[in-house]
Amino acid sequence: MTYCQEEDVKFIRLAFCDLAGNQKNIAIMPTELGRAFEYGISFDASAIQGFGDETKSDLFLFPDPSTLSVLPWRPTQGRVVRMFCEIQNPDGTPFQRDSRFLLKKAIARAKKMDVACYFGAEFEFYLFQTDENGFPTKAPFDHAGYMDIAPEDRGENVRRDICLTLSDMGIRPEGSHHEEGPGQNEIDFRYSDALSAADNAVTFKSVAQNIAMQNGLYACFSPKPLSGQCGNGLHINISIKSPGGQKDTDAFIAGILSHIREITAFLNPTEESYLRLGEQKAPRYLTWSSENRSQLIRIPAAKGEYKRFELRSPDPTANPYLAYALLIYAGLDGIRKQMPLCAPLDVNLFTADRSVTDPLETLPATLEEARSLARQSKFIQEFIPQIL
């Protein structure tokens, strides 16, 4: 509250996500901030996707002051700041469909098992031109290829502005480059604790869309926006610290492989998601290997603190809070049961003979299949039953 007074803050955005991971917010004036901290700011839950119907639809937002961040693209005079919020029922209990709360529960369970989980994300997105009214078209901003440079790569200034804006907000991008598709870009993030990583993922999409709009462009995170071209992935890098060391890491990976089919509906939540899987470096089979991008899980070549494993199936339409929560629960189940990690499959699955691929288990082929697996899953019912 002192910061808002001293730094000429005029608007405070109280942010949260619906179940699909779309950021929502209510803007309040600084004079209302004390009420927000003490009593919360009410909103109509029935108007938010996945939050319920008109009966008992009053919910309250309580800002988390540790997440306060200035929105750099807004005026410096009369600043706008944003805080993520906890969502509570009128009786003060946590709202059970608040995906940020669900991730906090997963983190708490990991802490009880003396496991710390760290996440880093690699976001792919397309930059499309807009029409005379500012609406998106399907015309790519350029026709450059993987890691090309200007003038073929016309998106480098946009990526730079996105990265600098994120840095101003205290978020650390690790790198950025042009991807394989025409107008396709990638920005990668340094690992952080699970809650910060999910908050940063939500923030990143908002920043990218705002910076693109300022440049007369549209930032598209759809999994397969152009037929015949590469889809957009959300590659999730995970590392853990636990008393069991590498043994626990192997069991954590085994847990994810064991539960991946039933949680895919949350990692790939749109019909378009399944047009991407199995095509152009997007995985289909439940396998892992070192340094092999044809696999579901890849162990990248890295040393020291950068050692990690990469899950390559999710896409940017996933709600990062739910995705990270389910991956934590799946990995913890692997550690608790000391699941053995299957042998790596060190072949290129995109060119392998059917004698190699036919015996392999696959990811769901459609959203309907993925949802059916989730509804039947005892694992989902144990950890996030309120979402089904």
Measured distance CA(219)–CA(308) in Å, rounded: 28
Residue 20 and residue 167 in one domain: no
Measured distance CA(205)–CA(124) in Å, rounded: 10
Count of domains for the chain? 2
Q: What is the pTM of this model?
A: 0.95
Q: List the domain range (segments joined by +) for residue 352.
A: 105-387
Whole-number pLDDT of residue 306: 66
What CATH number did the domain enclosing 150 receive?
3.30.590.10
Whole-number pLDDT of residue 304: 67
Q: For 307-354, how does the pLDDT look when each residue is reduced to its tens digit (9 = 90+)?
A: 799 999 999 999 999 999 999 999 999 999 999 999 999 999 988 999
Residue 117 and residue 157 in one domain: yes
Residue 118 and residue 88 in one domain: no
Whole-number pLDDT of residue 50: 86
Instruction: Indicate the helix (H) or strand (E) that contains 379.
Output: helix 378-383
Give domain status of residue 192, yes or no: yes
HSE toward the beta carbon, residue 28, CA cutoff 13 A: 22
Whole-number pLDDT of residue 73: 81
Residue 99, classed as helix, strand or coil, is: helix
Whole-number pLDDT of residue 281: 84
Give domain status of residue 176, yes or no: yes
Residue 34 and residue 123 in one domain: no
Whole-number pLDDT of residue 357: 92
Residue 127 and residue 71 in one domain: no
Which residues of the chain are modeled with pLDDT < 50?
A: none
Angle subtended at Cα 18 by Cα 93 and Cα 332, rounded to the nearest 5 degrees: 70
Give domain status of residue 300, yes or no: yes
Give domain status of residue 100, yes or no: no
Whole-number pLDDT of residue 305: 64
Residue 91 and residue 110 in one domain: no
Residue 163 and residue 257 in one domain: yes
Residue 176 and residue 218 in one domain: yes
Residue 31 and residue 83 in one domain: yes
Give domain status of residue 1, yes or no: no
Give domain status of residue 275, yes or no: yes
Q: Where are the beta strands (DSSP E) in the chain?
A: 9-17, 23-28, 41-44, 58-63, 69-70, 79-88, 116-130, 136-140, 173-178, 184-189, 192-193, 217-220, 234-241, 288-290, 297-299, 309-311
Residue 84 and residue 112 in one domain: no
Give domain status of residue 3, yes or no: no
Residue 257 and residue 299 in one domain: yes
Instruction: Indicate the helix (H) or strand (E) that contains 251.
Output: helix 246-267
What CATH number did the domain enclosing 78 receive?
3.10.20.70
